[in-house]
Amino acid sequence: QVRLVESGGALVQPGGSLRLSCVVSGFSLDDYNLGWFRQVPGREREAVSCLTSSDDNIYYTDSVKGRFTISRDNAKKTVFLQMNSLKPEDTATYFCAADTTLCTGGIHTSKSDYLRYFWGNGTLVIVSS
């Protein structure tokens, strides 16, 4: 059974940092692309970052480049999102996702792609003073 469980969300002041974690089970990280997405109520889910199973392709949305870093630890079956210099506009529920082609040639964000991905339940990040 495939399962993804996010953690690490919290209330943080602008300029602060958080590290999100996503522990996966039911499949090998060696075979899957992994990604982080975020969503604000009333808005579409947007891609934040992804990396391929071989780490030869890493993507960041423009608004987080230079501030966020995605990484993985295959032995711990965990994918991380290090978030620095956080801004109020980073406030959202953050979801991790897994799929065999999620990050191949760029991150895929169509509705049909989303239906195919394995998702966690999300972790809430609030950036506010």
How far is it, in rounded angstroms, from Cα 10 to Cα 126?
A: 6
Contact 117/97 with Cβ under 8 angstroms?
A: yes
* pLDDT tens-digit series, residues 63-95: 999 999 999 998 899 999 999 999 999 999 999
Tokens of 55: 């780490």
Q: How confident is the model at residue 62 (pLDDT cuts 50, 70, 90)?
A: very high
**What b/e sequence results for 17-48 when a residue is b if at least 16 CB atoms lie within 10 Å of its CB, and e otherwise?**
ebebbbbbeebebeebbbbbbbeeeeeebebb
